[in-house]
Amino acid sequence: MTNDNQKQGEDVTFSNDPESGNADTSTTHGIYQCFQSDLRESMFSLKESNGQSIDVIKCFVAHDSSTRFPRILFVRLALLTWSVASLIYFLITTDNENRYMFFGYLTNQGLIISILYQFTACIVTIYPKSPVTAGGDCQDEEASIFGKIMWCLYSVSVPLELTVTLSFWFLVYPTIDSKIKYRMIFNHGVLAVLLLIDGNFISRIPVRIKQIVFPITYGIFYEVWTIIHAFTNLGNGNKEGELLYDVIDWKRDPWKTAIYLVAISLIVLPFFFFLVWLLSLMNGFRFNGGRRYTYSK
């Protein structure tokens, strides 16, 4: 098997064959080696702990670049359509007085970020060479700006959705008097599963440990937003009270609110990011990155 960017006369060996589905794990390392390698390399490095390099097109696009409209595109379009249709439904069923604050909630922001990821995934599936920039040699490959955007969106959206799901069912839902609705199920569980399926089964996105800065940064920005909301009296339309969430009250209980949000940003989000990182390394019952498509000279 050869790469489109391979120089004539050079041999490039691919350790994973997408046609056979078999991974060569003879030279892969364990969790500790992968962790150390991620710390040494740059945030968007394609270098694996075993010295091989990530094949960006196969890991992100999930099909041969010679096929313009593969079947996997219809799967990704279906997932994107489902998410966008749900967003439209949620907006339509939100009271007019409350729509101005619709995107102020963490749940809805997570939905938007997830849709952006799904949209980006569809684009790279249609244009399979868009996530990679290469010189004349296969070994000169690096992720393009577009590829890095997709990478970043995945590293933010999945930990965020898992955090939103946990926070809702354990902290928010017990405080509200409402039956379980489609909005609750999709935003707090289903969407996270769809993202995990795309990143681990449809494609094989090689999450890097340094990318933890993305979800943490987003969490800090959301904390700042809750402070702005609390002290500018933006309110919640016709909803009872003026709080975004009952557990976030900067005016009446600032210390409890601060502890809660810091725990979310610096403990819960990083925990779920680490879980997503481990899932990207999973190869059967081992965590060595053996399922990733790589190549070596």
Element containing residue 54 per DSSP (H, E):
strand 53-54
Burial status of residue 145 (CB atoms within 10 A of its CB: 0-12, 13-18, 19 or more): exposed
Side-chain half-sphere of 291: how many Cα atoms within 13 Å?
21
Q: In 10 A of CB 170, how many CB atoms? A: 9
Quote the crossing angle between the two packed helices 31-40 and 269-281, to the nearest 10°: 110
Distance of CA 212 to the CA centre of its chain: 11
Q: Is 178 helix (H, G, I), strand (E, B) or coil?
A: coil
Residue 187 is given by DSSP the state I
N- to C-terminal Cα separation, the chain: 12
C-alpha–C-alpha distance, residues 162 and 19, integer Å: 32
Is the pLDDT reported for residue 211 higher than 80?
yes
Is the pLDDT reported for residue 8 higher than 60?
no
Tokens of 146: 């577009």
Which residues, in sequence order, are CB contacts of 122 under 8 Å at separation 6+? 73, 76, 77, 80
Element containing residue 256 per DSSP (H, E):
helix 254-263
Measured CA to CA in angstroms, residue 88 lies from 69, 152, 239, 264, 286 at distances of 27, 25, 20, 28, 40
Name the pLDDT band for 12 (thresholds 50, 70, 90).
very low
Instruction: Classify 93 in phi/psi space as left (phi over 0), alpha (psi -120 to 50) or beta.
Output: alpha
Q: What is the pLDDT of residues 43-55, one digit of tens each?
A: 999 988 888 888 8
Which residues, in sequence order, are CB contacts of 94 under 8 Å at separation 6+? 102
Name the pLDDT band for 272 (thresholds 50, 70, 90).
very high
Is the pLDDT reported for residue 141 higher than 70?
no
Range 78-83 contact pairs with CB under 8 angstroms and sequence separation of 24 or more? 79/118, 79/194, 79/197, 79/198, 80/115, 80/118, 80/119, 80/121, 80/122, 82/194, 83/111, 83/114, 83/115, 83/118, 83/191, 83/194
Q: What is the pLDDT of residues 68-121, one digit of tens each?
A: 556 788 999 999 999 999 999 999 999 888 888 999 999 999 999 999 999 999
C-alpha–C-alpha distance, residues 296 and 290, integer Å: 14
Between strands 294-296 and 286-287, the pairing is unpaired
C-alpha–C-alpha distance, residues 40 and 139, integer Å: 19
Instruction: Classify 166 in phi/psi space as left (phi over 0), alpha (psi -120 to 50) or beta.
Output: alpha
In order, the DSSP letters of 3-52 are: -TTPPTT---EESEETTTTEE--TT---HHHHHHHHHHS-TT--B-TTS-
Which residues, in sequence order, are CB contacts of 51 under 8 Å at separation 6+? 27, 296
* pTM confidence score: 0.85
Could you give the percent of the chain with pLDDT greater than 90?
50
Arithmetic mean of pLDDT over the chain: 83
